[in-house]
């Protein structure tokens, strides 16, 4: 909604600004005229600023040159002065005397020379500080000083020897007529050195004195107040205006010596090294960067634009004496950038003002022009609007002969025709309009329905997508956290996926099994032998078809050690095609250890329990054999009891061992194809003696063509033994036992029925419990172990079968008045699929 509002606002604005031809024309002209004008103006303005800057830089360079020349000129005057002083007749007379110590002559010459010195100082009043004449040994001979406006000669006793001074050393090297200019000198005297007059540095001029024979006789030294040279500077301060309109006082002037110390600086306290020390005091480096300073000293003249300081600098080097090029000064002139550009700013203001003025004038002009052009069009438009509102009688035609006139008349003709058509079509229009509305409504409804349907589908898709993702995350989590090693192969037997556990078990730490053939990853052998590559128990086909279940195989790690493993493999079948296989395996080392411990216990127990029994059995057998002597009747009957008990004990030990094997899970099941009818017959044969003793009738009903079952015959035998011997045991003499073996659906059902004591109802629930015997049988027979049914039930259930019994609840009393039931029938089933093989460590005894 907001966007639409914005759009509308924009549109209204556009219509307002350019809505009519008149306005369009106005803006078009305005743009056409002013855009180039402004661009050209701006370019010119930029050029003007550049030129202005260049101009003022040139001007400043010129100025600094001028200043340099001015200084050079001033220096020249004093140079002439000192050369003159060193070569005038008076001094020549003084030095040419063969014996300078001739008193009369010398004295007058000295006085005369002093007079000359005084005259020179007075002529250049305030400029020369002192003039001296030093003899060839550097001793002051004449010294005239200007002090506090007074010119005086220093008395002889105050004259000093200056032979060690620079200027004297330098002047000694010069020829007649040459001169020396000192560097800046703070005129330090006394010890400790003291600056004689602050801010009044001294420049020393010196020229050698030779006698008429050309022998060096000393030098004239002229000490100059530095301001003598700078006098022209002071005369042109403030008020004057630069010809570019820049105030002069904004221009900064500097004069530096070769070491960069200021001889002139706008800030007085910076002059002469800050009047402290010309070695460490303030110099040009404190104001300008190292680069700038270097440029100034390496070039003779030039300008520098210091962008960071917004400052423009012009400089010129002044060589004081071509003989001593190392002694020079530099005249510097600087000006803030803004000052230079201020003229440009002025220019810009003027430019903008004129542009503004031009826009107003031209605006008026264009406005009227566009009105004139647009007026007929406007009129035409107004006419059309009237027609639009329904006034077809309105005529917009004008009698003008221009294009607009023609157009307006053509328009009138169209209007007339339109008027005729209108009444005709109006009716038709109304009709179709109603129909259209109806259709639109219908379409809108069906469209909305379709939209809703699509939305529903989208929601569904989204839902199922998130569900799939959830499922995926779940199975990934399961896959990685599962305790068994998992390896997934593709249809070529290449390892596709491996879980973390598999990597750990197979010791894949350095390399990845992914992409390798399964044979290189899962090296399987039946025995824990030395690693032999070509002996493989599993073949790739077998993986897709079958893998021995419950068989402990050995899997080899990458380091060729092995561990016992239970492996199961199943093919992945998609559209009836093998597309891969999943192999799961588990390290059973621990289980095997436990199994071993358990079986060791059982075998030890069976040995220990049976050994004394076998002794008893055999010795009682020997006694009963009578080979070692006849026993009397009583002895014989006692011996029989011993033998009977010993055999019961043997039986009990056997049963107990079976129970412990079942309970410890060490029972081995080793199925082979077996005819269980034969097993049952064998059992009956074994019990034949007991059956005959009790005169029991045995009826058997075995189905013909019974399936051969894959079961462990030894185990089945134990189960059958228990069932049949129970039936024999608990059936009275002359009783009857009926045994049936039949197929029923997927099972084989075995039933053993007797017509014996039966099982009272209250014991039904506990009859399969260990060491439990029903009261009624306990009373009649004490020989039972109480383990038989428990073992039988365990065997049948481990075979995947079921066991139950029926014992009629009607109580029947025998002739002695004891309660008996009507016999018992035990049923058990064994699935036709047979028993599952189980690797353990013990078979049943």
Binding footprint of another protein on the chain (CB under 8 A): 599, 603-604, 606-607, 609-611, 613-615, 617-619, 621-622, 625, 650, 653-654, 657, 661, 668, 840-845
Cβ 722 to another protein shortest distance, Å: 16
- Alpha-carbon distance 368 to 361, whole Å? 11
Query: Distance between CA 258 and CA 261 in Å, rounded?
Result: 7
Closer of 412 and 643 to another protein (Cβ): 643
Contact criterion met (CB below 8 Å) for 749 and 827: yes
Q: How far is the CB of 608 from another protein (least distance, A)?
A: 8
H helices present in 491-627, as ranges: 500-506, 518-521, 540-545, 589-624
Q: Give the Cα separation of 250 and 51 in Å (integer).
A: 20
Shortest Å, Cβ 646 to another protein: 9
Could you tell me the smallest distance in angstroms from the CB atom of residue 649 to another protein? 9
Quote the tokens at residue 314.
């012009």
Q: Are 71 and 229 in contact (CB under 8 A)?
A: yes
- Joined together, the tokens standing for residue 339 give 């000052």
Q: Would you say 610 or 681 has its CB closer to another protein? A: 610
**Parallel, antiparallel, or unpaired: how do β-strands 736-744 and 697-702 relate?**
parallel
Q: How far is the CB of 678 from another protein (least distance, A)?
A: 19
Any idea which residue has 């001294």 for tokens? 202
CB of 723 to another protein, least distance (A): 21
| Residues in Cβ contact with 123 at an 8 Å cutoff, skipping those fewer than 6 apart | none
Tokens 């202005």 appear where? 52
Output the six-digit token pair for 281: 């005091």
Residue nearer to another protein on the CB measure, 265 or 598: 598
Q: Is the previous residue joined to 298 through a cis bond, with omega within 30 degrees of 0?
A: no
Residue closer to another protein by CB (options 767, 844) is 844
Closest to another protein by CB, 276 or 600: 600
Cα–Cα–Cα angle for 219, 222, 225, nearest 5°?
A: 160
CB nearer another protein, residue 481 or residue 615: 615
Q: Which residue lies nearer to another protein by CB, 662 or 750?
A: 662
What is the layout of strands, in order, in the sheet containing 311-319? Answer: 262-264, 252-257, 328-336, 311-319, 301-306
CA distances 620 to 623, 634, 637, 638, Å, are: 5, 15, 12, 10
720, 708 Cβ separation under 8 angstroms? no
Q: How far is the CB of 791 from another protein (least distance, A)?
A: 13
Give 412 or 682: the residue with its C-beta nearer to another protein.
682
CB of 803 to another protein, least distance (A): 22
Between 391 and 593, whose beta carbon lies closer to another protein? 593
Q: Do residues 81 and 87 make contact, with C-beta atoms less than 8 angstroms apart?
A: no
H/E stretch holding 652:
helix 633-664
Report the residue number, 419 or 622, with the smaller CB distance to another protein.
Answer: 622
Exposure class string for 594-633: b at 16+ Cβ within 10 A, else e: ebeebbeebeeebeebbeebeebbeebeebeeeeeeeeee
Nearer to another protein, 436 or 604 (CB): 604
Residues with Cβ within 8 Å of residue 559, at least 6 apart in sequence: 507
- Give the strand pairing for 262-264 and 301-306: unpaired
Burial of 571 by CB count in 10 Å (0-12 exposed, 13-18 middle, 19+ buried)?
A: middle
C-beta closer to another protein: residue 476 or 621: 621
Please say whether the beta carbons of 553 and 547 come within 8 A: no
Query: Minimum CB separation from another protein for residue 566, in Å?
Result: 17
CB nearer to another protein: pick between 291 and 663 = 663
Task: Give 409 or 610: the residue with its C-beta nearer to another protein.
Answer: 610
Query: Nearest-5° angle of CA 536, CA 541, CA 546?
Result: 90
* Cβ distance to another protein smaller for residue 643 or 740: 643
Minimum distance between the CB of residue 682 and another protein, rounded to whole angstroms? 16
**Of 243, 263, 241, residue with least CA distance to 253:** 263
Minimum CB separation of residue 715 from another protein in Å reads 10
> Shortest approach of another protein to residue 676 CB, angstroms?
20
Q: What is the pairing mode between strands 188-189 and 194-195?
A: antiparallel
We find the least distance from the C-beta atom of residue 811 to another protein, in angstroms, to be: 40
- Taking a C-beta distance cutoff of 8 angstroms, is the pair 242, 250 a contact? no
CB 602 to another protein: min, Å: 8
Residue with smaller CB distance to another protein, 580 or 654: 654
Compute the distance between CA of residue 262 and CA of residue 307 in angstroms, rounded to an integer. 23
Q: What tokens were used for 315? A: 């400089």
CB of 616 to another protein, least distance (A): 9
Respond yes or no on whether the N-terminal peptide bond of residue 50 is cis (omega within 30° of 0).
no
Residue 738, beta-bridge partner list: 699, 753
Nearest to 235 by CA among 70, 79, 75, 81: 70
CB of 603 to another protein, least distance (A): 5
Q: Which pair of structure tokens corresponds to residue 734? A: 């002359």
Helix and strand element counts for the chain (H, E): 20, 28
Closest CB to another protein among residues 344, 665:
665
Q: Which is nearer to another protein, 629 or 817 (CB)?
A: 629
CB 667, min distance to another protein, A: 9
Q: How far is the CB of 614 from another protein (least distance, A)?
A: 4
Burial per residue of 1-35, b for 16 or more beta-carbon CB atoms within 10 angstroms, e otherwise: eeeeeeeeeeeeeeeeeeebebbebbeebbeebbe
């Amino acid at each position: 909604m907001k966007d639409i509002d914005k759009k509308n606002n924009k549109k209204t604005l556009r219509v307002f600004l350019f809505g009519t031809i008149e306005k369009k024309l106005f803006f078009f002209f305005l743009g056409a005229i002013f855009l180039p004008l402004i661009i050209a103006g701006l370019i010119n303005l930029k050029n003007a600023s550049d030129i202005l800057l260049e101009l003022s830089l040139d001007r400043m360079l010129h100025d600094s040159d001028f200043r340099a020349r001015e200084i050079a000129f001033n220096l020249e005057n004093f140079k002439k002065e000192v050369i003159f002083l060193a070569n005038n007749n008076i001094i020549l007379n003084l030095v040419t005397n063969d014996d300078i110590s001739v008193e009369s002559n010398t004295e007058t010459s000295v006085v005369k020379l002093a007079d000359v010195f005084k005259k020179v100082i007075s002529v250049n009043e305030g400029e020369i500080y002192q003039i001296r004449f030093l003899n060839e040994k550097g001793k002051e001979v004449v010294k005239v000083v200007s002090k506090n406006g007074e010119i005086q000669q220093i008395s002889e006793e105050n004259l000093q020897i200056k032979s060690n001074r620079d200027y004297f050393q330098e002047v000694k090297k010069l020829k007649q007529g040459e001169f020396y200019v000192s560097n800046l000198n703070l005129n330090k005297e006394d010890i400790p050195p003291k600056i004689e007059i602050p801010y009044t540095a001294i420049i020393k001029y010196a020229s050698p004195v030779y006698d008429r024979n050309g022998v060096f006789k000393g030098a004239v030294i002229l000490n100059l107040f530095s301001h003598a040279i700078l006098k022209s500077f002071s005369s042109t301060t403030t008020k004057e205006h630069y010809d570019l309109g820049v105030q002069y006082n904004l221009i900064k002037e500097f004069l530096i010596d070769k070491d960069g110390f200021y001889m002139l600086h706008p800030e007085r306290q910076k002059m002469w090294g800050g009047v402290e020390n010309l070695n460490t005091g303030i110099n040009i480096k404190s104001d300008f960067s190292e680069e700038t300073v270097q440029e100034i000293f390496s070039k003779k003249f030039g300008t520098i634009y210091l962008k960071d300081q917004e400052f423009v600098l012009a400089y010129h080097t002044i060589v004081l004496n071509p003989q001593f090029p190392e002694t020079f000064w530099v005249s510097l002139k600087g000006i803030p950038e803004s000052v230079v550009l201020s003229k440009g700013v002025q220019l810009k203001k003027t430019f903008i003002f004129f542009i503004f003025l031009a826009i107003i004038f031209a605006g008026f002009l264009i406005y009227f022009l566009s009105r004139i052009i647009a007026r007929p069009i406007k009129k035409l438009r107004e006419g059309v609007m009237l027609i639009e509102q329904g006034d077809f009688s309105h005529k917009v035609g004008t009698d003008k002969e221009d294009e607009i006139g023609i157009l307006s008349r053509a328009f009138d003709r169209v209007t007339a025709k339109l008027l005729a058509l209108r009444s005709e079509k109006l009716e038709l229009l109304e009709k179709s309009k109603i129909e259209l509305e109806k259709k639109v409504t219908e379409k809108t409804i069906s469209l909305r329905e379709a939209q809703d349907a699509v939305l529903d589908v989208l929601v569904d898709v989204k839902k199922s997508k998130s569900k799939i993702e959830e499922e995926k995350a779940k199975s990934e989590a399961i896959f990685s956290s599962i305790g068994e090693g998992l390896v997934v192969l593709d249809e070529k037997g290449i390892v596709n996926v491996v879980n973390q556990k598999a990597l750990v078990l197979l010791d894949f730490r350095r390399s990845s099994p992914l992409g390798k053939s399964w044979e290189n990853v899962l090296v399987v052998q039946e025995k824990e032998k030395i690693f032999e590559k070509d002996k493989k128990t599993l073949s790739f086909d077998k993986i897709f078809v079958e893998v021995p279940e419950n068989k402990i195989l050995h899997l080899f790690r990458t380091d060729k050690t092995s561990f016992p493993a239970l492996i199961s493999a199943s093919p992945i079948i998609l559209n009836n095609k093998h597309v891969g296989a999943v192999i799961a395996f588990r390290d059973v080392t621990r289980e095997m250890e436990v199994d071993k411990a358990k079986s060791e216990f059982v075998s030890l127990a069976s040995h220990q329990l049976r050994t004394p029994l076998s002794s008893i059995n055999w010795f009682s057998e020997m006694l009963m054999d009578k080979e070692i002597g006849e026993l009397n009747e009583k002895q014989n009957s006692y011996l029989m009891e011993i033998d009977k008990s010993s055999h019961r004990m043997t039986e009990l030990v056997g049963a107990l061992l079976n129970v412990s094997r079942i309970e410890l899970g060490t029972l081995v099941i080793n199925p082979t194809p077996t005819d269980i009818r034969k097993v049952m017959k064998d059992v009956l044969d074994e019990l034949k003696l007991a059956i005959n003793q009790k005169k029991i009738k045995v009826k058997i009903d075995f189905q013909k063509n019974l399936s051969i079952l894959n079961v462990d015959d030894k185990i089945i035998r134990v189960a059958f033994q228990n069932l049949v011997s129970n039936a024999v045991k608990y059936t009275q003499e002359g009783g009857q036992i009926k045994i049936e073996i039949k197929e029923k659906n997927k099972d084989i059902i075995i039933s053993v029925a007797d017509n014996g004591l039966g099982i009272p109802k209250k014991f039904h629930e506990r009859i399969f419990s260990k060491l439990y015997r029903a009261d009624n049988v306990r009373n009649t027979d004490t020989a039972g172990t109480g383990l038989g049914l428990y073992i039988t039930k365990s065997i049948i259930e481990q075979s995947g079968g079921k066991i139950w019994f029926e014992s009629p609840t009607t109580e029947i009393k025998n002739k002695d008045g004891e309660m008996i039931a009507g016999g018992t029938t035990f049923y058990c089933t064994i699935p036709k699929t047979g028993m599952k093989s189980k690797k353990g460590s013990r078979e049943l005894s």
